[in-house]
Structure 1
Amino acid sequence: MSECITLTLSILREADWLPPSCAYRLLRDGFDLPDWHPLRSGTHETVHKVGASVRDRCINERDAGMLEDHEVDWPGEWPEHAPPCTAPLSSDT
């Protein structure tokens, strides 16, 4: 899509808007992906199982009215019910 940003290494170095569970951000910051991440598990269902998805926390923007009335802080936080990502990548990877 024309509005999409192509993530490059230079953009990733400066990007402070990526959610904490974003694979690009985790790898940039020296962490491995958590077991529930779909790139590790092979399925998006693990994201829903641990509560790291937006399932049931969103509304259709056509039904929302003024989007400013629906701002939330949680996209900038580690998913509340998801296990923490505490395993840094080994230095030889």
Structure 2
Amino acid sequence: MPDPIDRSGLRPRFWQTVPMGRLSKPEWEALCDGCGKCCLNKLEDEDTSEVALTRVACRLLDNETCLCAQYPVRHRFVPECIVLTPKTIKDNMYWLPQTCAYRLVAEGRDLYPWHPLLTGDANSPHDAGVTMRGQTLSEVSVGDDEWEDHIIEEPT
């Protein structure tokens, strides 16, 4: 049975009608599709600023759920984890995945049809094949100098 999305307290199609700065915390959090791509370690070319994804993930990413295993307290374990907010989104869009709802909404675009807010099913991104489920390696097991060996194309 599909995992239903809790829509209580969410305004209908809020991502289309409410400016990002006015989203409630539950609405902001509901934008996350659970793909796990933002938790992948990235390599940035110093000359071109191009960002490459690797399958090497933050030590807190659960490889099966694609969610942070310690989300509420993640900064205790990973102090450098970036907190996306309506105020910080513009400065961080360059490294966000192309399919990221935060990026899409900030760019004035709509969500992909597989997004849980549209399907009502938290598994729909996994079913659509756009998540990192079962594809990551923990940064604990891969040295920094090996990340380049694990560059991937973003699943879209």
What is the TM-score of this pair, normalised by structure 2? 0.41
Which residue of 48, 58, 61 corresponds with 2:136? 58
* 1:33 correspondence with 2:127: no
Which residues of 2 match residues 1-93 of structure 1 at below 5 A?
1-2=74-75, 3=79, 4-15=81-92, 16-62=94-140, 64-70=141-147, 71-74=150-153, 77=154, 79-80=155-156
Question: What is the percent sequence identity of the aligned residues?
Answer: 34
Inter-partner Cα distance in structure 2 for 1:68 and 1:60: 14
Query: For residues 73 and 66 of structure 1, what CA distance do their matches in structure 2 show?
Result: 17
Cα distance in structure 1, aligned partners of 2:110 and 2:128: 17
Name the counterpart of 2:6.
Answer: none
CA RMSD, 1 decimal: 2.2
More strand by share: 2
Segments of structure 1 that go 5 or more residues without pairing to the other structure are 81-93
Q: Give the secondary structure class of the aligned counterpart of 2:97.
A: coil
Distance (whole Å) between structure 2 residues aligned to residue 67 and residue 47 of structure 1: 29
| Deviation beyond 6 Å, 4+ runs, structure 1 | none
Cα distance in 2 for partners of 1:68, 1:9 equals 33
* Structure 2 alignment gaps of length 5 or more: 1-73
